[in-house]
Amino acid sequence: MGNITRKSFLQQCFGLGTLALLSPMISHAQYINASEENFYQQIVQANNKEVARLLTVFSTDITEIKRRLGFDLANLAAAYCEAKSDYYQKEELVGAMTKIIRFLKKAQQEDGTLNLGNLASPPDTAFILDPLCVATTLLKHNASPVLTPLLSLLKEFILKAGESLRVGGIHTPNHRWVVSAALAQINALFPNKAYVARIDEWLSENIYIDSDGHFLERSMIYSEVTDRCLITIARLLKRPKLLEPVRKNLNLTYFYMEPNGDLVTTDSRRQDQFMTINALPFYHDYRYLAIHDNNAEYAAITKFIENVKGFDEKIMVDLLPFFLEEPLYLKPLPAVQNPSVHFEKFFKTTNLVRIRRNDTTSTIFGGADFPLVIASGRSTSPNLFTFRKGEAILKYMRFSTDFFSTGYFRSNGITYKDGKYILHQSIEAPYYQPLPKQFKKANGDYKHAPSTDGRFWNKMDFAHRPQSNIKTIDTTISIEEKNGVHELMFTSKGSEGVSVTIELCFKEGGKLSGVKEIESSPNNYFFEGETASYDFGKDSIYFDSGIKKHSKIKGLEGEMYSSHFGSLKMDGMFVYLTGITPFEHKMTIR
C-alpha cells in the first residue's frame, strides 16, 4: 500500500471525517514546547470544568462507596497543585478532598479493605488506591501547610489499605497485577520492603502472554488493566522487562481496533465478549510507550484515540493528575508513522481472523475454548462473522439449528485452504439403551450425570448405557474475502428435515431494504429475495441470495440457555434466512 498522509490515515483508517487534530502534550518547564501548549491547556480546562462540578457534588454528604471517589480526589489534588488551574491552591478544594478521605476512612474495614464491588475486597480496594496514591504524590510535593491534616488522613488510609493488599488474596488473573501496581505506588510514597516482597511473590507466578499477544483473560477490558498496571510497576520499581508483554498486547490491540475505535471482543473469556467497548482506556498505555520507546506507530494510535468519540468526557477529564504525577506523559510524542490500514491477520491462538481494507473490516471467529462449556471465564460467543463498512455495521452473524435443541453453531476452530477460512462443527445426539446388568441398582438411584452429548443432566448413568439410533448433523461454513467482498457458503447435512437459521444482527437505527418485516415481531425481518441492503448514514452494506423455508426464529440459543430462560440476543435489527437440511446456500456480503 502506498504512503498516505497523517490526516488521511486518521480519516480513512478510523472513519473520522475532518479532524481537528490535537497537538502532542506540553510538559512542565523542562519540556515546554509552544506548539503543544494548546493540548495541555485543554487538559487544564477539562479539569477546571470537572472541579467546578465536584465542588457542587461535595457540597452535600457522600452516601456511596465507588471507585470514582479516587479519581474525584485526584482531580481536586491536580487542580490544587497546577499553577495554570483556576483553582490553584484554593482552600475550598482541601475541604472537598478531606470530605472524601474521611468518608473512605469511615467505610474502611478493620482489615483495611473496602466493600467495593465485592465484600472486603483487596483487589477492588487496589483499584481505588491507584488515583488516591497519585493524588497523595502530588499533594506531598506541595509546600502548603494547610495540606498537613489531609495528608495525614491519606497516609492513614493508604497504609491500612496497603497492609490488606500485602496479605490479602485475589479472584482473577489481572487482580495480581492490580494489587501489585497499588503496592508499587504505596511503596513509592511510603517505602517498605514487605510491599516489594509481595509484588515479587505475585510476579514469580510469571505473566502469561500467548504468541499473538493475549493475556490469560483475553479480555480487552482487562488487557488494558494489565497493561497499565505493568507500566506502573515497571516505572516505579525500575523493571523494564515488564514492558515487553505490554508492547506485545498493544500490537495485537491495534489489529482488533475498528475504524470508530470499537474493539473486537469475540474471543474474550470475560464479560466483554458480549459487550461493545472501545479503545479509549488504552490511551495512557499507547502514549506512555510511544514516548518511552520513541514508537512512531504508537504515536499515531495515540493521536487517533484523542479523536475517538467520548475522549473528552471519559479520558481528558481525568488526565491532569496522571500527567502531573508522571512527567514522561508531558513530553512530546514522536512524529507519527501510520500503521497499515490494509491487512489480513489470522490469530491462530484464538481462531480469529481480522481483515481490513481501509474503512471496511471483517472478523471471522472459529471458537477458542474447547470443549464448549457455558461458564464465566470461557469464550462462548457464537458470533462467527462480523462486518463493518464505515458507520454501517453488521454486529454479528450466527448460524443455528433445531437439532435436538443444540442451538447455535460454534466452530471447532478455523482452517485456511485455497483462500478460504473454513469453520466446521459435527454434533452427535444418541438415544440410550437399558443399562447393562452389572450397573443396575435395586433402588433405581443412578448417578446424576450429564448426557454424553452434554445437553442435559439426569440420574440415568448415561456413561454406562449403550447407544443407538445416533443422529448427526455436520455443518461447514466457508468464508472467502476479495477486496472487501465476502462470499459465504453454508453446508449442513446428516439428519434430514432439521430447521436451520442464519441470523444477521445489524446496528440499531439503520434502514433495511429488500427484506420483509415480521408483523408480530418488530425489528425482525425475513430475507427471501435476491438482494437486500442495510444503510446507516452515508454507508451501506449489501447482501444477496435470501431464502425462507420455515419461520422458526425463537430459541436459537439452544437448551443450555433456554433451560434457564436465558438469551444471547443483543440490541439490533435482525434479518433471518431459513432452510431445511440437507442445506446448502451461498451468499455474499459487501
Instruction: Report the number of secondary-structure helices (H) and strands (E) in the chain.
Output: 15, 22
pLDDT for residue 34: 52
CA 10 – CA 304 distance, rounded (Å): 6
Q: How many CA atoms lie within 13 Å of 564's alpha carbon, on the beta-carbon side?
A: 9
Q: Cβ distance 71 to 131 under 8 Å?
A: yes
Residue with cell 515488564: 242
Instruction: Return the pLDDT at 456.
Output: 87
C-alpha cell at 495: 439428519
**Antiparallel, parallel or unpaired: β 485-494 and 407-408:** unpaired
Q: Where do the H-state alpha helices sit in 281-430?
A: 283-292, 296-305, 311-314, 319-325
C-alpha grid cell, residue 283: 490511551
Best CA proximity match to 182, nearest among 201, 200, 206, 158: 158
Please state, in angstroms and rounded to a whole number, the distance separating the CA atoms of residues 148 and 141: 12
Within 13 Å of residue 336, how many CA atoms lie on the same side as its CB? Answer: 24
Give me the residues paired with residue 534 across strands: 512, 541
Q: What single letter denotes the amino acid at residue 347?
A: F
What are the pLDDT digits (tens) for 13-39? Answer: 444 433 333 222 223 434 445 546 789
Strands 342-347, 352-357: pairing is: antiparallel
Contact 367, 378 (CB under 8 A): no
Alpha-carbon distance of 364 to 421, in angstroms, equals 8
Contacts for 514 with CB less than 8 Å, ≥ 6 apart: 527, 529, 530, 531, 532, 533, 546
What pLDDT, on a 0 to 100 scale, did the predictor assign at position 30?
Answer: 44
Report pLDDT digits (tens) over 103-135.
Answer: 999 999 999 999 988 899 999 999 999 999 999
Tally the C-alpha atoms within 13 A of residue 152's C-alpha that lie toward its C-beta: 5
H/E run at residue 558: none
Residue from 573, 561, 575 nearest 408 by CA? 561
Show the low-confidence residues of the chain (pLDDT under 50): 1-32, 35
Classify residue 483 as exposed, middle or buried by CB count within 10 Å of its CB (0-12, 13-18, 19+).
exposed
pLDDT, averaged across the chain = 92
Amino acid at 55: L
User: Helix 37-57 crosses helix 68-81 at what angle (to 10 degrees)?
Assistant: 120
Say how far residue 510 (Cα) sits from the centre of its chain.
25
- Residue 24, H or E segment: none
Instruction: Enter the pTM of the model.
Output: 0.91
State how far Cα 583 lies from the chain centre: 35
- Burial degree of 21 (CB within 10 A; 0-12, 13-18, 19+): middle
What share of the chain in percent tops pLDDT 70? 93
What is the pLDDT at residue 4? Answer: 41
CA–CA gap between residue 377 and residue 361 (Å, rounded): 27
What pLDDT is attached to residue 565?
Answer: 65
Show the DSSP H helices in 168-282 as ranges: 173-189, 193-203, 220-237, 243-255
Residues in a beta bridge with 353: 346, 364
Nearest CA to 553 out of 576, 571, 580 is that of 576
What phi and psi values does residue 275 have, to the nearest 5 degrees? Answer: -125, 160
Sequence-distant (6+) residues with CB within 8 A of 144 are 89
Half-sphere exposure of 400 (CA within 13 A, CB side): 26
What angle is formed at CA 220 by the lines to CA 219 and CA 223, rounded to 5 degrees?
Answer: 80
From CA 418, how far away is CA 85, in angstroms rounded? Answer: 61
CB 150 within 8 A of CB 139: yes
Of 129, 136, 96, 135, nearest to 112 (Cα)? Answer: 129
Q: Before 321, cis peptide (omega within 30)?
A: no
CB 258 within 8 A of CB 264: yes
Kindly tell me the sign of the dihedral angle through the C-alpha atoms of 140, 142, 146, 150. Answer: negative
Apex 329 CA angle, 7 and 307, nearest 5: 30
Q: 129: part of which helix (H) or strand (E)? A: helix 122-140
Contact of 97 with 57, CB cutoff 8 Å: no
CA 312 to chain centre: 20
Look at residue 56 in the predicted model and tell me its pLDDT: 97
Q: What is the pLDDT of residue 23?
A: 28
Q: Which of 352, 334, 336, 354 is nearest to 344 (CA)?
A: 354
> Three-state DSSP class for 141?
coil
